[in-house]
Structure 1
Amino acid sequence: MNQLYVQVSPNCYDWLMQKPRQQWSRSAFRTTSQSDMFVNNHCEVFNSSLGKLRDLPIITLFRELHKAIMKRIQIRRDKMANANVIICPSAQKKLTKSMHYAGNCVVTWSGGSAYSVTCTDGGHELVVDLVKRTCSCRKWDLIGLPCYHARACIALKNEPWENYIHDCYKKDTYLQLCGNTLEPIVGPEFWEETPEPKPMPPAVKIPIGRPKKKRNKKNDFPADTTNLKRTNTKVARNR
């Protein structure tokens, strides 16, 4: 398999081999975080929430950000408290999707905690342990939600699937996290005077023209080789 990767893109293969596998391969991820994501979506969501606050002074920015987080916690806490669910809706969607594929699994059991699962769509054979909450595909180990191989075993045992999900996805855990409210603070007119120097804005050289507020995303996506640039491009003509 490694030889195939070298043939497809030698430079990409050499670049990846210089980095720890924990940074780019799910097969080397730790199972303590209950997550298999390696993208910066959470940072992008927080970054987008600062769109209207970027141009404010540093103290005003933190004050407005404090209010925005207070409001966000309250909205999410009330929404989850009024929801008639056992686990979070996002986790429920993943479980519903896994149940659809569980019908393609043939489960063999001899009475212990381990099950042999054969996938009819590919012929793969895996081992699922309901007591250890592990599967050979490592999906259950990584995210804490039963994969469709485990869902097939749970259906055979005829037990509630809620007993096999991690506590971090349950409604009670979510409400406990949102139960720690963010206390409000008074305005600057009520702040105590201190002998410390006041923070000064950084020395930034403002370029000519209208400031750009949108992030440059050209490096986030691979270049399209089918499109030609308008400048410094030569097209060969048939003679």
Structure 2
Amino acid sequence: MLRDKREYPMEAIFNSIAHTFGEIFRKRYAEVDNSKTTFIPVAKTILRENMIEGDKLYVNNINGSTNEFIVLGYGRSAKVNLSRRSCSCRKYDLVKLPCAYAMAALCWKHGD
């Protein structure tokens, strides 16, 4: 990106960088603004994969609570709390997108 501009003064290089990033952000904003969902394509892909994995898991309601579940599958179990948006696998806590265990619990609670 900067190879052609190495010969220019620093001010011109910084202006070029700012202009290039501005163009990139404008293109991305236009792409996101025209989409029908609130998720970026990467997040949609992650959610879709987690939903497919979550379909293969077994969900057990812990104590009749509507927000706490034990989800079993893949040789592991995970405790999901939907009201806290947390899972014992920690992916839901760290990435802030429902992991496969949380997706299974959400599907059990709300249906498809």
TM range (shorter): 0.7 to 0.9
Cα distance, 1:147–1:64 mapped onto 2, change above 3 Å: same
2:108 alignment counterpart = 156
Report deviation, 1:131: 0.3
Which segments of 5 or more consecutive residues in structure 1 lack a partner in the other structure? 1-48, 161-239
1:76 alignment counterpart = 28
1:142 alignment counterpart = 94
Q: How many residues align?
A: 110
Cα distance, 1:140–1:53 mapped onto 2, change above 3 Å: farther
Find the partner of 1:117 among 67, 71, 81: 71
More strand by share: 2
- Once residues 139 and 69 of structure 1 are traced to their aligned partners in structure 2, the CA distance between those partners, rounded to angstroms, is 31
1:1-239 aligned at under 5 Å gives the runs 49-109=1-61, 110-112=63-65, 113-119=67-73, 121-122=74-75, 124-158=76-110
- Once residues 47 and 18 of structure 2 are traced to their aligned partners in structure 1, the CA distance between those partners, rounded to angstroms, is 35
Residue type of the alignment partner of 1:114: E
Q: Where in structure 1 do 4 or more consecutive aligned residues deviate above 2 Å? A: 49-57
Q: What is the TM-score when the length of structure 2 is the normalising length?
A: 0.87
1:38 alignment counterpart = none
Report deviation, 1:55: 4.5
Report deviation, 1:117: 0.8
Residue type of the alignment partner of 2:98: P
Q: Which moved further from structure 2: 148-157 or 69-78?
A: 69-78
- Once residues 100 and 55 of structure 1 are traced to their aligned partners in structure 2, the CA distance between those partners, rounded to angstroms, is 52
Taking only the aligned residue pairs, the percentage that are identical comes to 27
Q: What is the TM-score when the length of structure 1 is the normalising length?
A: 0.43
- Once residues 20 and 84 of structure 2 are traced to their aligned partners in structure 1, the CA distance between those partners, rounded to angstroms, is 41
More helix by share: 2
CA RMSD across the alignment: 1.8
- Once residues 68 and 3 of structure 2 are traced to their aligned partners in structure 1, the CA distance between those partners, rounded to angstroms, is 51
- Once residues 82 and 6 of structure 2 are traced to their aligned partners in structure 1, the CA distance between those partners, rounded to angstroms, is 49
Cα distance, 1:105–1:52 mapped onto 2, change above 3 Å: farther
- Once residues 84 and 91 of structure 1 are traced to their aligned partners in structure 2, the CA distance between those partners, rounded to angstroms, is 14
Residue type of the alignment partner of 2:21: I
